[in-house]
Amino acid sequence: MEGSRAGIAPRRCDRNEDFGQTFALLERLPVDLESVRSEVERVIVSEADLQKRLQEIARTIESDYRDKDLLLIGVLKGAVMAMADLARYLNRHVEMDWMAVSSYGSGTKSSGVVRILKDLDKDITGRNVLIVEDIVDTGLTLDWMRTNLESRGAQSVEIFTVLRKPESAMVKVDVKYVGFDIPKDFVIGYGLDFNEKYRNLPFIGVLAKHMYE
Ligand code: PRP
């Protein structure tokens, strides 16, 4: 690693932090503490670690995009939290746009065929685009998105993701800014959902198996 990329090596995050250790954090949960205690097996990235990492990455992005325009493109819905926090940590002008996409067919994400549910509002010809994502799992969504945005004539297309699951990758995607590499567990919080719940938790947790098995 060298130059501006030196500070952005992904963090490996597979610790088992139980709720006892993060009780202070849980006191300010937006949802019922007791239900979360029984539904979330463990915290794998605390709110403090998440925010610290986003600030580090924001400094690197400022440096990489000095004297360039920067258009953040968030992928709904999971990227809402990351977009809101990252954008506020960037000490520069940014523009924001949003896409919503869905995998075609069965609801599994393994087809790689993506349908646009909501397209960008504006033309991106000549723009420096940074895709903002909550998670890269199989990589199929981001692989498709990058190709799609490049085909629209963007000057550059890079990717920021809060989380990446290297063990789940089905396709290699070059992700320039990675918050944390995590194990293959079912994770929720900070934009990530299970049946649309848990997106507003401020940390990343592992969903208890009894919730989906
Ligand atoms: C998640 C995430 C990515 C995609 C990654 O979105 O936000 O867009 O899955 O998966 P992949 O690497 O296997 O393609 P999801 O489809 O769950 O929608 P959501 O953001 O609305 O929850």
CB atoms within 10 A of CB 155: 14
Question: What pLDDT score does 9 carry?
Answer: 72
pLDDT of residue 49: 93
Match 């098995």 to its residue by tokens. 213
pLDDT for position 113: 82
* Regions in the chain scoring below 50 on pLDDT: 1-6, 23, 108
Region for residue 79 given its phi and psi (left: phi exceeds 0; alpha: psi -120 to 50; beta: otherwise): alpha
In this predicted structure, what is the pLDDT of residue 11? 74
- Whole-number Å distance between alpha carbons of 115 and 118: 9
pLDDT of residue 74: 98
Residue 42, SS3?
strand
Pocket of ligand 1 (CB under 6 A): 75-78, 109, 133-141, 193
Q: Considering the entire predicted model, what is its pTM?
A: 0.89
What does CATH list as the number for 3-8+15-204? 3.40.50.2020
Told to judge if 185 belongs to the known catalytic residues of this protein, a careful annotator would answer no
Q: Which pLDDT score is estimated for 13? A: 66
Q: How far is the CA of 49 from the centre of ligand 1 (A)?
A: 22
**Domains of the chain, residue spans:** 3-8+15-204
The ligand 1 atom at the shortest distance from the C-alpha of residue 141 is 14
pLDDT in tens, 38-70: 899 999 999 999 999 999 999 999 999 999 999
